């Protein structure tokens, strides 16, 4: 069943609907890539 979200992740594929979901898209891409953001 489809659940509408800003960004959708299926394994290593990330998609989003439109530019308004850009922040969610980037957030999910960083999770998939295993990126860690640290403040020093």
* Cβ atoms of 25 and 7 closer than 8 Å: yes
Q: What is the count of structural domains for the chain?
A: 1
Instruction: Report CA-CA distances (Å) from 33 to 4, 6, 29.
Output: 23, 18, 6
**What is residue 29's three-state secondary structure?**
helix
Q: Which domain holds residue 7?
A: 1-39
Residues with Cβ within 8 Å of 37's Cβ and at least 6 positions away in sequence, in order, are: 30
Coil, strand, or helix at residue 2? coil
The pLDDT tens digits of the residues spanning 1-40 come to: 556 678 999 999 999 988 989 999 999 999 999 998 888 8
């Amino acid at each position: 069943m489809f659940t509408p979200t800003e960004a959708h992740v299926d394994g290593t594929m990330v998609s989003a609907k439109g530019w308004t979901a850009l922040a969610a898209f980037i957030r999910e891409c960083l999770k998939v890539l295993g990126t860690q953001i640290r403040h020093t």
